[in-house]
Amino acid sequence: MPLLRSDIRASDTDREAVAEFLKRHYTAGRLTEDEFDARVDAAYAAVGLSQLDRLVGDLPAHPPAPPARRSSVRPVAACLTAAVLAVAVATVVPPEAWAMLLVLALPLLLFAGMALMMLAPVAIPVVLLVWLVHAMKRAAAPLPLNGGARQAPLRGSASRRRLG
């Protein structure tokens, strides 16, 4: 006999997802601080999924938080660091060493380039096939309950008791 949703026990992950959902609505202004605290306390005390459903039933579905933008400072800092190191090495190494390095390294680089060109007709389809399999697996995987967003610590009296 299949279980109804009201009969299924809630997990800690379910409770945390509901608390995060309530936090988003609190920050959006849909809940007062007292309502938020009461609902978060009730979420952590909930035994079944139906109890969690009742806590969020009057709130609209909330879109997942937008992904954080990556800062472009790191690549710029890395390039500047590499340039400074290259200038420092170039001033310390004598010109004879550079000539020797060029004589030894140039044939190795040409050989490596030729080897890559011979592997490219095989490597490119393999990489595309691996990417396609990965994309298909990712598309078939179920989404997490909280939309894949990282969970931030809660604010309020309920979170202080739980986290502190």
> Do both 105 and 128 map to the same domain?
yes
pLDDT at 132 over 70: yes
∠ CA(51), CA(53), CA(55), 5° rounding? 75
> Do both 77 and 135 map to the same domain?
yes
Predicted pLDDT of residue 63: 56
CA atoms lying within 13 Å on the CB side of residue 73: 2
Predicted pLDDT of residue 38: 93
pLDDT at 24 over 80: yes
Please write the tens of the pLDDT for every residue from 55-93: 888 888 765 555 666 666 677 788 888 888 888 887 887
> Do both 114 and 133 map to the same domain?
yes
- Mean pLDDT, range 92-119, rounded to an integer: 79
> Do both 96 and 151 map to the same domain?
no
Task: Collect all residues with Cβ–Cβ distance below 8 Å to 151 and sequence separation of at least 6.
Answer: 16, 20
> Do both 107 and 48 map to the same domain?
no
- Compute the mean pLDDT over every residue in the chain, rounded to the nearest whole number: 77
> Do both 107 and 124 map to the same domain?
yes
> Do both 13 and 47 map to the same domain?
yes
Predicted pLDDT of residue 160: 46
The SS3 assignment for 11 reads coil
> Do both 34 and 91 map to the same domain?
no
Predicted pLDDT of residue 164: 45
> Do both 13 and 40 map to the same domain?
yes
pTM (global) more than 0.85: no
> Do both 106 and 134 map to the same domain?
yes
Q: How sure is the predictor about 41, in pLDDT bands with cuts at 50, 70 and 90? A: very high
Asked whether 14 and 51 are in contact (CB, 8 A), the reply is: no
User: Which residue is associated with the tokens 């969970």?
Assistant: 151
Q: What are phi and psi of 2, to 5 degrees?
A: -70, 150
Of 24, 29, 36, the C-alpha closest to 65 is: 24
Write out the residue range of the structural domain in which residue 77 sits: 73-140
- What is the number of domains present in the chain? 2
